[in-house]
A and B are shown apart, each in its own frame.
Chain A
Amino acid sequence: MSFFPYNAMYSVDFYRNNSGETYALKLNNQLLHITRNWYWKKDFLETSLRGFAHYIEDSNRVFMDHYLDYKFPNPAIHGYLREKLTPGIIKRNDWVKWYASFAGNDKISGDTIVLIKYAYQISNSGFQLTDSSIIWKTILDAGK
């Protein structure tokens, strides 16, 4: 909350195990590197990609879609707030073009972009990938 000093960050362990998930984008089968950027840009690239992946996994919805459904049942208010406070259906190709460009990669029509979700665990043996799945795939073309 911006104007209320309540900070429950990291008070609750939601995962209760040593498993994690992360997302990455591949451009023409090459991983788009983000971690060598300076902190803020790296963090922005990491979290905004996670937000995009959640948006896709949740069928073009963000947290606020669910919150408004629950909090504002009145159709008029709900419709107004939804129009203002949610992104609606965005052009996914435009978003990944922006993302690739923001990450410092030029992209051209015909490029293949794949959004991948990686599952991993950390043990005494170190970092181990346990699974990876394609969340979304697209081929950029001049028309999109």
Chain B
Amino acid sequence: MQENSFINSYRYILGILLAEIIIIQVSGVSFHAITGNALFSLNVDPFTWLPFIAAIPKFILQRYPVALAFDLCMVTGIIFLILKPMRQLRGIVVFLLMFLFYVTLMSRHIHWNFQVGMFLILFPLCFRAYQAKLFAFEALRFFLLFFYASAGFLKIVYGAYLKSDHLSHLLVGQFGPYFIEGNTGWRTQLHLLLVNTPALSYGLFIGSMALELFAFTGFFTKKFDPFIAMALLLFHLANWVIMDIAPFGQIAFVCLLFFSKSIFNSDGHLTATLQQQVDLEHP
């Protein structure tokens, strides 16, 4: 299949995903690192139940060599996918591996937010037809926009924007272990300042809401997609510094907005090269 902007875009996205997975594994979190951990807790999402009904996480985490093999397969799978992003079978296999990694990790981590992108980003590569891949990419883009815009919107619905001490209260729970261990520094000083200065944290909270709500513009035009991506990355960076919630596992997902313009024109139609590709496939 001819090289084109979709393939190249996905190579970059997969490269970012690979870097994220390596960062997570090097930090010490992987299938093989959590073998022997029998305690897990699931949420209400039935999709996350499926691997547990099939007893797959239990099978992996009771066998160190199997867990290690899954870790290696995940990394090599992404590398193979970078080489040939259009191979459907590779796409499905890596999607399932990443879904399994996400579900297994989160069931032990017991904190399910902000990592869902690590497997969703592979969703378009599970389809065979080129046009189906493009539709799936478009669907994924809307999913991302909904995911972040709903976060801003629900803060309005629940009236959080009316409470000047909302973020100050939320922050209190974020740095407890650092103080208990006496591991203090500029971030804990900033933390104390924000907790004790609600006006300052309220300003940051409204700013973060504005960054999330900016995703709504993506429903009407693709013109601002790179700016939405930058806004969301800024939101995540602030989250990391202020709330100690790092975005590793979600960055590739957000970065897909940098590439939507190379696939679609700002008016929402396919670029000329891609339209030719689709026409060749479906004359």
Contacts and interface: CB of A to CB of B under 8 A. Distances in A.
A41 to B, nearest CB: 4
Q: Which secondary structure characterizes the binding site on chain B?
A: helix
Contact of B177 (A24, A85, A126): A24
B166 interface: yes
B83 to A, nearest CB: 27
Given A7-B148, A34-B177, A118-B180, A40 B166 contact: no
B36 A94 contact: yes
B248 to A, nearest CB: 6
Nearest to A15: B169
A43 interface: yes
A85 B251 CA distance: 30
A86 B49 CA distance: 10
Nearest to B195: A122
A98 B151 contact: no
Interface stretch (B130-138, B155-163, B256-264): B155-163
B38 A87 contact: yes
A79 interface: no
Interface string B85-123: 000000000000000001001001111011010001000
Interface residues of A, number: 66
Contacts, number: 190
B280 interface: no
Contact of B178 (A35, A48, A55, A86): A35
Contact of A87 (B39, B102, B113): B39
A13 interface: yes
B3 interface: no
B27 A38 contact: yes
Contacts of A38: 26-28
Interface of A: 1-13, 15-22, 24, 31, 33-41, 43-44, 46-48, 50-52, 55, 62-64, 67, 81, 84-87, 90-91, 94-95, 98-99, 102, 118, 120-124, 126-127, 129
- Closest 5 pairs between A and B when the two form their complex, measured CB to CB: A22-B176, A5-B146, A38-B27, A51-B110, A41-B28
Given A38-B27, A41-B28, 5 more contacts: A13-B160, A18-B168, A37-B27, A52-B39, A120-B176
